[in-house]
Structure 1
Amino acid sequence: MELRQLEYFREIANTGSINEAARKLNMSQPPLSYQIRQLENELNVQLFERTHKGVILTAAGKLLYDRAASLLDYARSTELEVSQTGKKRVLRIGITPTTVGTVMPFIAEFSKKNPDVNFEVHDGITYTLYDYLQEGIIDISVVRTPLRLDDVESAVLHSEPMIAVSNPEMPSEGRKSLILEDLVHRPLILYRRYEKLIMDAFHVQNLVPEVFCLCDDARGATLWVKEGLATAIFPQSMEPLCEGLTCQVLDEPDLVTKILLIWQKGRKPTAVVQDFMDVCLK
């Protein structure tokens, strides 16, 4: 199995057409079809089903599609790192969208102290970056709890409370903070990532919240709030997404999320990773 075959395979999957993939790859269709047949023969599976509209992935093809992305990322990362040997060090780091503001001051300080270091940044949700770390695609990552930490080493960069985000027309009594009891009679929007954390905090106090909506996109949830449909509960660092809305801190010890550095367990950090950790954890 060759890297170029995986690149060809993913291009066909992305376009749903061997002819269109050949056009984008600047090659003719027969050799592209031949490479895919070779790949299928080597793996002893069928990767595509032919339809009147083009091709679709089989179950085996879907599995290879996901794995191929990681393999190609790792190959490109290795190529960059090897090409920079003796010239520049490379820090391969994962960052979630909601932790950028927290980690950037550390990155800026680290960069000033280590001008010989370039960065390879992978963006993604916490669970995606966790997998990248385990697969060796990144060296270290910035993630947010809740998260299972059995298979990684970790250190806390920052802890923050949750906030209640509501339409300005809803009565807030001018208070800067609330407790969960204040939210019992409000319809709530919960970011699915924190559903269990939030519901457990309510249940510990024998409170039953009215969950109006579960969502996966904080930006989308703010639109519901702007329409006055419900109050959303987010980590405090998401407050910049809530312009024009009322944000009140939830004064609840059980409703705290932590921003962590994580790295592989049982593996000594490389020199560049250790230098970065020293800046972050001093």
Structure 2
Amino acid sequence: MERTEKELKDLREGLQGTLAIGTISSAEEMLLPEKIQAFHKKYPGVDFRIKESSTFEILELVKAGVVEIGIIRTPFNQDIFENISLSDEPMMAGALDFFWNNETEYIDLKGLEGKPLLIYNRYANNIEEACRKAGFEPRVICRIDDTRTMLKWASDGMGITMIPRDMISLVPDLNLHFREIKEESLVTRVIIIWKKNHYLSTPARHFLEVFRG
């Protein structure tokens, strides 16, 4: 009986339980491990159930209550979610050396005019609109949903890939050279979300405290 009462107390205080999280792959590899380790040291009795998926699928999982917390990338409809912004990630252009004329770390959108572009499908409309505002029609040779394939094709010399900075490490050692694109409208943000006006378990609330801290 004493053990049962202690377990119930631990559950109420968030010292035990299971926390379901949906996350994009770049956050799972770069951001989440450090936060989970910090949380686990403080709450070793809480187990994790991690679902890696796309932003769109994670939004649906949070809405349906399959996961309590999602880690996604902007843009997204914020009407039904609370959120904490975790990091700003500029858009990067990556290619083999022969595509670049100099060694600068930055590039204007106009510097991509006439060059073959490999674009992550989710950002294609934003990128194309930004290029048109910069005064040119982009030469998009491929719109693709798989980041790793896009990076590999750029490594094969097909063109210049355009991805958020934190996604570069998804496929290491590809000999790509990246330039930060100086265009504020293409900056994305990694965001942690949960359902607005909805009950959050105590472990979930404790987990959010790790990010707020």
Match of 2:176 in 1: 245
Task: Provide the identity percentage.
Answer: 26
Asked if structure 2 preserves the Cα contact closer than 8 Å seen for 1:153 and 1:264, the reply is yes
Aligned residues: 200
Match of 2:212 in 1: 281
2:59 and 2:36 mapped to 1: Cα distance?
20
1:113 aligns with one of 39, 42, 47: 42
Match of 2:21 in 1: 93
Matched to 1:203, the amino acid is R
1:98-247 equivalent positions in 2, closer than 5 A: 98-100=26-28, 101-240=30-169, 241=171, 243=173, 244-247=175-178
Deviations 1:173-195 (A, max 9, x none): 01111110100121111100111
Larger Cα Rg: Structure 1 or Structure 2? 1
Deviations 1:26-56 (A, max 9, x none): xxxxxxxxxxxxxxxxxxxxxxxxxxxxxxx
Q: Secondary structure at the match of 1:146?
A: coil
Asked if structure 2 preserves the Cα contact closer than 8 Å seen for 1:162 and 1:256, the reply is yes
**1:85 Cα shift?**
5.8
- Can you give the 5+ residue segments of structure 1 that lack an aligned partner in the other structure? 1-81
**1:171 Cα shift?**
2.7
Deviations 1:67-117 (A, max 9, x none): xxxxxxxxxxxxxxx9x9688321111111122212222221111111121
1:139 and 1:160 mapped to 2: Cα distance?
24
Q: Secondary structure at the match of 1:254?
A: helix
1:42-81 equivalent positions in 2, closer than 5 A: none
Q: Secondary structure at the match of 2:185?
A: coil
Asked if structure 1 preserves the Cα contact closer than 8 Å seen for 2:84 and 2:193, the reply is yes
**1:277 Cα shift?**
0.7
**1:220 Cα shift?**
1.1
Asked if structure 2 preserves the Cα contact closer than 8 Å seen for 1:165 and 1:242, the reply is no
- Can you give the 5+ residue segments of structure 2 that lack an aligned partner in the other structure? 1-7
1:168 and 1:148 mapped to 2: Cα distance?
38
Query: Per chain length, whose mean CA-contact separation is higher, i.e. which structure has more relative contact order (CA < 8 Å, sep 6+)?
Result: 2
Q: 1:171 to 1:204 in 2, by over 3 A?
A: closer
Taking only aligned residues, the RMSD between alpha carbons, in angstroms, comes to: 1.9
Asked if structure 2 preserves the Cα contact closer than 8 Å seen for 1:178 and 1:250, the reply is yes
Asked if structure 1 preserves the Cα contact closer than 8 Å seen for 2:127 and 2:186, the reply is yes
**1:242 Cα shift?**
5.2
Q: Secondary structure at the match of 2:99?
A: coil
Q: Which runs of 4+ in 1 moved over 3 A?
A: 84-87
Q: Secondary structure at the match of 1:223?
A: helix
Matched to 1:220, the amino acid is T
